[in-house]
């Protein structure tokens, strides 16, 4: 059974996205025609998940430059870099966005002697290539990770890492999908993932579509499940992994890793190689996005706190590498020594 929806697609001359802020109650596809609309979609989480953000940003860059009336490559490149920096401000923690935009920038420079209209088409084709590559990569991640899943396993996952967050299949979700597809009779514990409930709204929606058995749990129930022996392994995604293996992921990931180590439960991170950031040495160096406090003080449009309640709302936390069992990538499983083995991916 294949994935039955596309979170991002290029149609004719514009981008179409499945608006994730409307799920699971409404399945609404929105047309996106401008770079400003892409920036807004990323910022407001209509598009989310590190790989999907990178894909959307790549298409968004084309939408930004296609109408440019530059007279020469130098002026065109100045505008291109201005749009790149603009898109990077939408969500700074997820490295796939800057990775995709920088890849396009390098491709453009390599073709600087061509006509500007041809360069614009090269940008669009590069965005499509990034999109297609992600679909293939996520499938490989799933196949590689499924080998680690024993028959009858109870898997705990956090946030949303499925086809909604990528080109197709997902990262951690791809492991779950392929383990189930191979007849391993798995069961999934889904963290609700406060404050925006990506687990409760999105992962449950994808699991239902895939007909994979699951239970939704409050975030605070995860430790109790581990302590009682009801979790066999934990698989999460990542938004950025540093050179030493420290991992930024959705807020709430770090305590899961600590509890997993205490209860001797394997803790895996599933991700494409593009999410590794060798330019950042350790987790302390990662910029952590802080979002609107109203995401904490409101549930949907209903205020759930006294008025004028102050709230701190970091979107991510950093799990130190020593709490991670291994990284599941399209190139296979990366085990400690992480600094050495991550570097080897790029040698």
> In CATH terms, is domain 143-344 a member of 3.40.50.10470?
yes
pLDDT at 1 over 70: no
Q: Which element (helix H / strand E) includes 218?
A: none
Q: Which of 239, 246, 277, 317 is catalytic?
A: 239
Q: What is the pLDDT of residues 313-344, one digit of tens each?
A: 999 999 999 999 999 999 999 999 999 999 99
Q: What is the pLDDT of residues 34-43, one digit of tens each?
A: 999 999 999 9
239 catalytic, yes or no? Answer: yes
CA distance 96 to 226: 32
Q: What does the pLDDT read at residue 67?
A: 87
- Domain borders along the chain are 8-139, 143-344
The CATH number of 8-139, from 1.20.120.420, 3.30.1490.190, 3.30.1020.10, 1.10.3720.10, is 1.20.120.420
Q: What is the pLDDT of residues 272-289, one digit of tens each?
A: 999 999 999 999 999 999
- The alpha helices in the chain, defined as continuous H runs, are 35-43, 50-65, 73-88, 95-110, 116-146, 172-181, 198, 204-210, 222-227, 253-262, 294-297, 338-344
pLDDT at 55 over 70: yes
Mean pLDDT value across residues 103-121: 96
Best CA proximity match to 186, nearest among 235, 227, 220: 235
Q: Under DSSP, is residue 267 helix (H, G, I), strand (E, B) or coil?
A: strand
143-344 and 8-139 share a CATH fold: no
Contact 254, 318 (CB under 8 A): yes
Q: What does the pLDDT read at residue 46?
A: 96
For CA atoms 331, 332, 333, 336, the dihedral sign is negative
Edge-to-edge strands of the sheet including 8-11? 8-11, 14-18, 29-32
How do beta strands 316-319 and 247-250 pair? antiparallel
pLDDT at 4 over 70: no
| Assessment of whether the complete model's pTM goes beyond 0.75 | yes
Q: How confident is the model at residue 2 (pLDDT cuts 50, 70, 90)?
A: low
Mean pLDDT of the chain: 96
Q: What is the pLDDT of residues 121-175, one digit of tens each?
A: 999 999 999 999 999 999 999 999 999 999 999 999 999 999 999 999 999 999 9
């Amino acid at each position: 059974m294949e994935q039955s929806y596309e979170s991002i697609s290029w149609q004719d001359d514009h981008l179409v996205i499945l608006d994730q802020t409307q799920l699971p109650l409404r399945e609404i596809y929105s047309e996106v025609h401008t770079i400003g609309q892409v920036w807004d979609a990323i910022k407001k989480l209509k598009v989310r998940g590190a790989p999907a953000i990178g894909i959307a940003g790549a298409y968004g860059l084309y939408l930004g430059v296609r109408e440019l009336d530059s007279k020469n490559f130098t002026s065109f490149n100045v505008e291109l870099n201005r749009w790149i920096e603009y898109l990077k401000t939408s969500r700074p923690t997820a490295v796939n966005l800057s990775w995709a935009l920088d890849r396009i920038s390098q491709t453009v420079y390599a073709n600087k002697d061509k006509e500007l209209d041809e360069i614009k088409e090269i940008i669009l084709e590069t965005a499509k290539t990034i999109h297609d590559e992600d679909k293939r990569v996520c499938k490989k991640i799933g196949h590689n990770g499924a080998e680690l899943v024993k028959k009858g396993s109870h898997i705990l996952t956090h946030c949303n890492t499925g086809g909604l967050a990528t080109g197709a299949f997902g990262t951690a979700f791809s492991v779950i999908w392929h383990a189930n597809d191979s007849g391993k009779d798995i069961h999934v514990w889904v963290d609700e993932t406060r404050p925006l409930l990506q687990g409760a709204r999105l992962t449950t929606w994808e699991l239902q579509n895939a007909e994979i058995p699951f239970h939704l749990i409050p975030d605070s129930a995860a430790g109790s499940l581990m302590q009682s022996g009801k979790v066999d392994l934990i698989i999460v995604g990542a938004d950025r992994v540093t050179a030493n293996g420290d991992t930024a992921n959705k807020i709430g990931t770090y305590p899961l890793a600590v509890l997993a180590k205490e209860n001797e439960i394997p803790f895996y991170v599933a991700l494409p190689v593009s999410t590794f950031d060798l330019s950042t040495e350790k987790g302390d160096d990662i910029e952590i996005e802080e979002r609107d406090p109203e995401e904490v003080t409101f549930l949907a449009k209903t205020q759930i706190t006294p008025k004028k309640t102050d709230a701190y709302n970091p979107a991510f936390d950093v799990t130190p590498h020593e709490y991670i069992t291994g990284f599941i990538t399209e190139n296979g499983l990366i085990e400690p020594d992480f600094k050495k083995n991550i570097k080897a991916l790029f040698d």
